[in-house]
Structure formats: structure tokens, C-alpha cells
């Protein structure tokens, strides 16, 4: 039985891979809708990019709703230096034909969860959590319809990737992250501690290059590999956002531990830091990914997209 799913994202190169994987997995997901948010690039581009990828995947029946154009507090923090001016790296594409769905992303999230069967809908979040936090503020009862929230965000042992202590998705809207992590809802957080272990390698990329069907995927990952060399001095692109979809399809590929997560919102030095506490957290509803089966994740992606 396909899992009802809402995918909230800010495409973004790695969001693009996550979207393609979710669009392809029709047996795993009943994809109710895609919601977009300002993040890796501005809100107009993330909404455009989601529709581009929907068209590439030939899934025009899935509605795309545009969401928040800025974080709850402060100015938007884009990341074009990691994702390219378009947000989709060096990928060549035509402007999408199918329009956005009418209405706001937050209203779609609220309406969908309020009408859902209890504990039935999974919510994947691969960008700043602005839409989700606003939905919770607008209607706190939406939690009843949620099965789980799986987010890409945060860092503990790895340190940050946008500052010394903050991961980008949290840093881009720390106040939203604080609201979501403080909600008491069932959350699985896939931070840099896990996603930095899931990297491209020459062998993995060779398998993808061997398939004509994987052309778009290879283009996206080639760009991500070059950015990782230029920006971080490391080989292999980490697959941050696709890990969320992989977890929803095959949670056995990840090791998670119950925890409490608090987000720093006041300090300019450590803004967006995630304080992940395992002590005394056995009964907590939040879980933190401490390890991942990188080859298993790539095998899953290769099977679906190549």
C-alpha cells in the first residue's frame, strides 16, 4: 500500500534528486503534493524547479504549491554558490508547462492533514522548515494526521556546513526549526552525521552513467561533486536530501537514536546550532540518525532512477 506523502522542499540540486526519487517510487508513495519554500534559491525559483522536475518525471498530476518566500524572522539565506544560479546546477531544461496549483503551501498542508486519517500521512522536509512551522502555528491539530515527519537538517558530531556549528536547512530558518522540533510530534532527523556518509564514488557514478535513463541524475551529481571539491576540498558529493526519501522507503538503511533537539535562535555566533541530547531521551518522540548504509542507499537510487 503506497504511503501518503507530502514533500516540502527547496530545489536545489540534492532536493532535485530527492524529488526524482519520490516521483519514481509510485509503488512506495501516494504523493499527495509537493510544497516549496525559499531556501537554496529564492521562492520563485524553487517553485519553478519543482515543476521542472515534475515534468521531467512525467508526474504532472502531482500538485505543486508555492510556499514561504522568507524565513519566520530575518532575511532569506540562499545558497546559489552550492546549487548554481538556477538552483539546478548545470542542468539544461525548458520552462515548465504545467502551472502551480492554486493556493498556498501552508493552506494545502493544513487542509490535507486535517482531513487525513489519524496517523496516516508522512511529511518529508528537505529544506528550511518555514512552511511546516507556519502550518503548526496556524492549526496545531494537524499533528493528528501525521504518521511521521522526516527532515534533513542539523549536525552534531560533524559540525556545520554553512557555519562552524550550523547545517544549512536549520540555519536558513532556525526559528521554524525550533517550532517543529519543539512540537512533540514524531520526527526523524537526518543530519550531517548521517548524510556525510552517503557520498558518490567513481564506482557508484559509473553504474549510473551506464544507464541512458540516468542522464539527469548524472548531470546533477556531477555538478554536486565539483562543488564539493571546490567548496569543501573533498571528493564525493553527499546525498543530503535524497536520504529523506530513502529513509521513508527503507528505514532499515539507517541507525537512529531517540533524542531531544533544541535549536539556537539567539546567538549570532552559533545561530542554527542543533543541540542533540541523547541522555534521558529514551521516551522522546524525536530520533537522530547516527549512521547510514551508504551502499544500500545508492543501490536503492540506482534501482529506481537508472
Q: CB-based contacts of 2: which residues, under 8 Å, 6+ apart? A: 26, 27, 28, 29, 30
Phi-psi group of 159: left, alpha or beta (phi > 0 → left; psi -120 to 50 → alpha; rest → beta): left
Any bridge partners for residue 121, and if so which?
Answer: 146
Is 196 among the residues known to form the active site? no
Q: Comparing C-alpha atoms, which of 248, 20, 275, 65 is closest to residue 155?
A: 275
Q: How many residues does the chain have?
A: 306
The answer to whether residues 126 and 15 touch, using CB atoms and an 8 Å cutoff, is yes
Q: Which of 81, 83, 175, 240 is catalytic?
A: 240
Strand order in the sheet with 187-190: 64-66, 29-36, 3-9, 121-125, 146-152, 187-190, 286-292, 254-263, 274-277
- Tracing cell 571528493 back to the chain, one arrives at 235
Contact 169, 274 (CB under 8 A): no
Show Cβ contacts of residue 61 under 8 Å, excluding neighbours closer than 6 positions. none
- The answer to whether residues 287 and 254 touch, using CB atoms and an 8 Å cutoff, is no
Say if strands 254-263 and 286-292 run parallel, antiparallel, or are unpaired. Answer: antiparallel
The DSSP symbol for 213 reads G
In whole angstroms, give the CA distance from residue 50 to residue 264: 30
Name the residues annotated as catalytic.
240
Amino acid at each position: 500500500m503506497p504511503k501518503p506523502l507530502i514533500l516540502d522542499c527547496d530545489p536545489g540540486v540534492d532536493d532535485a534528486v530527492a524529488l526524482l526519487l519520490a516521483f519514481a517510487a509510485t509503488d512506495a508513495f501516494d504523493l499527495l503534493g509537493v510544497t516549496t519554500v525559499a531556501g537554496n534559491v529564492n521562492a520563485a525559483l524553487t517553485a519553478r524547479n519543482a515543476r521542472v522536475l515534475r515534468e521531467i518525471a512525467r508526474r504532472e498530476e502531482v500538485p505543486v504549491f508555492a510556499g514561504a518566500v522568507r524565513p519566520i524572522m530575518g532575511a532569506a539565506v540562499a545558497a546559489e554558490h552550492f546549487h548554481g544560479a538556477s538552483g539546478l546546477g548545470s542542468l539544461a531544461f525548458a520552462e515548465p508547462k504545467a502551472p502551480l496549483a492554486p493556493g498556498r503551501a501552508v493552506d494545502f498542508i493544513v487542509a490535507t492533514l486535517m482531513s487525513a486519517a489519524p496517523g496516516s500521512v508522512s511529511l518529508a522536509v528537505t529544506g528550511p522548515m518555514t512552511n511546516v512551522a507556519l502550518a503548526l502555528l496556524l492549526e496545531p491539530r494537524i499533528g493528528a494526521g501525521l504518521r511521521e515527519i522526516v527532515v534533513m537538517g542539523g549536525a552534531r558530531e560533524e559540525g556545520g556546513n554553512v557555519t562552524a556549528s550550523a547545517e544549512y536547512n536549520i540555519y536558513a530558518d532556525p526559528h521554524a526549526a525550533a517550532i517543529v522540533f519543539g512540537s512533540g510530534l514524531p520526527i526523524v532527523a537526518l543530519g550531517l552525521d548521517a548524510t556525510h556518509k552517503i557520498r558518490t564514488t567513481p564506482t557508484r557514478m559509473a553504474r549510473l552513467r551506464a544507464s541512458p535513463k540516468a542522464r539527469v541524475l548524472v548531470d546533477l551529481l556531477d555538478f554536486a561533486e565539483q562543488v564539493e571539491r571546490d567548496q569543501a576540498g573533498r571528493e564525493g558529493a553527499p546525498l543530503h536530501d535524497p536520504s529523506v526519501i530513502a529513509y521513508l522507503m527503507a528505514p532499515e538503511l539507517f541507525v537512529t537514536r531517540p533524542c531531544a533537539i533544541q535549536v539556537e535562535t539567539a546567538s549570532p555566533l552559533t545561530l542554527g546550532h542543533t543541540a542533540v541530547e541523547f541522555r534521558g531521551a529514551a521516551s522522546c518522540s524525536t530520533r537522530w540518525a547516527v549512521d547510514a548504509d551508504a551502499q544500500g542507499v545508492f543501490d536503492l537510487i540506482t534501482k529506481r532512477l537508472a
